[in-house]
Amino acid sequence: MIDVTVENFEDEVVAASMNVPVLVDFWAPWCGPCKSLGPVLEKLETEYAGRFKLAKIDSDQEQQIASMFGIRSIPTCVLLMEGRPVDGFMGALPEGQVRAFLDKHIPSAEAIESGIEEDDAMQALSSGDADTALEKLQHAVATDPGNDDARFDYVKLLLQLGHDDDAKVAFAPVIAKAAGSLRLGALKTWMDAIDFVASSASGAGVEAEFDTKIAANKRDFDARYARARLLMVQQRWTEAMDELLEILMRDKAWGEEAARKTYVSILEIIEPPKVKVAEGQIPPEDPVVASYRRRLSSVVLS
């Protein structure tokens, strides 16, 4: 808990909220309800162990800040995240209601630990340590099964390393979400391609068979799409997208837009993790992804 004045407001509230939620408690020494709410807030700050920061502002002494927030009565609490007010409440709520308010916005301890493990995994992966990355992503998913970003990275890495069966097991808890999520749907598209190739490929010469069919008929979209799926399984991503573009240039709607949907899935798969940048800046886009996005737009919109 920290007492905030106009002098330290920017650092202790606005800047701090970029890293951790800040609950601002507007109070006054003469306010009876404030005296009952204050200990509850301090107890919860200790219990939440760094998951939020409590800032107390004497509204009588710091009228400029109180006016800025439009405070009309006290106690009033305002929660700031990433520099902006996101919610608040008035009055001396009982502990259970304050806890419910916090839990609506503040990540659980498990979610925070999972996020840290995920960040560490990406660091390990960027340095070429796939084994450590896999271990940390597995722990991230186990710690917070609802962390779909960590699960995406975990399943993706398993598939990249050829651990297809493990990937299917890890993906099973979210398979129902695949239809409504571009990223999870992309993983399903990849695994469906693996299953297709495993069940239909007729040996090492299968790509040559597709090439022969395509050479005989440029509009043999079944052969082109099968070849694109084979290239996906081989993780020859740009070649797979090139093949899908050949379909799209001839028939955008073929197969209920299967070529476009698969192309978009590949873009989701090969999109590298976003680089963290300063507030207000836009992360740089991967040149390969950017190029193939433009090519897709050019074909689809032509």
Task: Tell me which residues are annotated as active site.
Answer: 31, 34
Q: How far is it, in rounded angstroms, from Cα 17 to Cα 239? A: 45
Residue 38's alpha-carbon distances to 43, 154, 246, in angstroms, are 9, 43, 66
Q: How far is it, in rounded angstroms, from Cα 291 to Cα 86? A: 37
Q: Six-digit token pair at 121? A: 């995994």
Based on its alpha-carbon atoms, the radius of gyration of the chain, rounded to whole angstroms, reads 26
List CB contacts of 248: < 8 A, sequence separation 6 or more: 259, 260, 263, 296, 299, 300
Beta strands 76-81 and 2-3 are unpaired
Q: Are 107 and 98 in contact (CB under 8 A)?
A: no
Q: Six-digit token pair at 212? A: 């022969």
Strands (E), the chain: 2-3, 22-27, 53-58, 76-81, 84-90
CA triple 141-20-183, angle to 5 deg: 35
CA dihedral of residues 117, 120, 122, 126 (deg, nearest 10): -160
Strands (E), 67-208: 76-81, 84-90
Nearest to 299 by CA among 266, 236, 257, 269: 257
Q: Are 88 and 21 in contact (CB under 8 A)?
A: no
Nearest to 37 by CA among 20, 51, 54, 60: 54
Q: How far is it, in rounded angstroms, from Cα 289 to Cα 260? A: 15
